[in-house]
Structure 1
């Protein structure tokens, strides 16, 4: 069913339907025009033949009427009625008569039922109207009667004159059933021919639709592949002989496709190179940061091996060794982001951030630093409490570490629509543009005692919550760090993720 609906909504199907409707509409319009033209032509021919026969009889009637020669009138009537001029073989004469001006029968093709000398007595309203018309008419005319079922007819009425005086009237009635049948046969023939032409036109339309839509379908598939990031399906090459808009579009798309494929290949190569560079930088940083305390530890161990019995050296170097090992442990733990961070989203409200106030004050200690706390978060939002707190603490600690005497740190938290905004601003020395672009690189630090992992871990935590982090700073103007986190207010869903 889905495939059928897809086919129905496809452009090729619509194009085929439109072409079929146009061809069928034009075909049946032409058929109707031809049928009606034939119908009126048959009707005119029949009218002409009815008048021709009636006039032929009327030409011979005056002398016989004046002489009251009923036999001659009857003979002339039968003689003319028996003749079939060209094209008259399919015409059947229903009745013929000659009447005097008062409606008395002078001659009739059916004298047994219509005796001569009696006045014609029509039995139906139609016949009465025709009788009245024939008596009153002063010129030749044609009357139609009957219908498709009850033997339709056309009747020619021609007055008979002698010395400009009407002395009688000739009535000759012809059946139109045969001509109607001929018109129907002609109509069926025309409809059959038009139907065949419609089928041929529809088949041609289907072929034309396929030829026109196929390049567009290939373009649509190619665009879909590009949207999915799949550059393996190259669209068929455009026919250079096609100069129309579809050919131009296909060639332009193919060129764009190849350019995007080259661009993607270059981006993949650059990404791979960047990964290798980053890996090398991390490896170098790890080696540098670990080798420094490790060298001191090895020196201490070498000295103790030379003087194993010197208690003073043991008491002196054991704390150094322990401190160096703790330093290495701190570097490894920071690098791995404590290996696993629970991705458990829960309702985090204002208290989630206010709980950090005392920890921040303890971190400040005796330093002359003023901490301004502005938590405007009023509603509970669904976020990872542990990660938010770690991000805020890392940013606050970073500001505390760079401040000189009498520094100020401002913390602000508020909700902007569906976004939780965290801001940490200090009036420290600021950051140069050269250092600002490298702040989130692992092991990059401007402090002698720093590991360069704090902001890197913070960045990874923010990105793991699908947020963004921005740093606004200039040398001598302080620094403001802004964190934007998507926050929702529906029920939390527990998950797990690895942050490295």
Structure 2
């Protein structure tokens, strides 16, 4: 992956912390639902138990006591004809009726308490029970008068009156006993129904709680898997770091993630790319240093003999100029001269690499410098059948550069473009502002450069041409990087190759040189006019 293909390091849309927090929030929500449902079920069960214990049970007990008193009264009424002492029976009946009245009030109070404890269904049941209790009471509400008439008949020895009152009183007491029995059965059914509903609710709550527990466990497992998946790219970054530590600087595809791990992966790959480029530059610099040492040796061991050979060839040519020498000998002498010149040119190339000085950085107008270089190179390009087109933005900031070295670098790039367009065509040169840099571009419309060749085009001694030292573009990159800039080579859209040189803009305090440069250019233009 090249540097240009790396995505920008934007802020993550979804952070790892938020995603993990959301996962645990889902788990807590599932647990809260389960716990809430469990608490609700327990609360409902407790309410049913309280309703049964404090509501129905007291009603059933009081009703049972009331039934016992009523049943005793009915039995006493049935045994009155056999009594030999009606006075004691009368006292007992009056006591029981007094107890029955008290028990009736207590039963009614317990029903009122049941009405206050229960829900809407229980409230309605309490109203119905109270109504049935009142109906039962209405059946024997007038028994006191009946008892008075009965014992009055006893006192008067009126056997017919006694029998008549006994029949009426027995019917009254037994009807009351039947109504109380029915009321007790109604209460028992209500208690059984409540118990059945409570047990069914408990079973249903148990099953639902088990289901919610299983669901919560599944959510927990899913959250754990999700968290593991979110953090898995971090393992890839760790393995990648270990591989880089072992020396593997081969570009790797990025981990596609819109969180901090994706940012970390992108930044790490950028760092690896920067380290690889730095290592490549270090290797290139070492090679250039070796070339410098070799150039010094060439200067001492080869250049002087070459000069001597060249001088002797010139003398020999002068000696043979007026004599009748065969053409073959002259051809051989010309061939020797060409080879000597080629060796001198080669030594000059090596010396240029070895003697490349540190740039003398000045804040100056790069656009004007590029215009002068293009004007100088245009005749050479036109002789090769090429059209040189310059496009410069207005109001460009001043840049920091050494004019002589940038001139050499730009001429190298333009001549490389000329050699790529042997059939003629158009070369575009542009100067643009690019953030904190000024970009100088050279675009040709040649056959283009394959990707594998483009990756090595700035290496020393690498050349695709049959002739040349392969040092032109290497020197160009050395010059640009010495200026604190960068140079890149990319395929041009539509065919050809695009070179791009980035030079840093000048600080504000140094930009005064820009105005002096502009005034000098204006003076030159007036002179030409």
Higher helix share: 2
TM-score by length of structure 1 reads 0.45
TM-score by length of structure 2 reads 0.43
Structure number, greater radius of gyration = 2
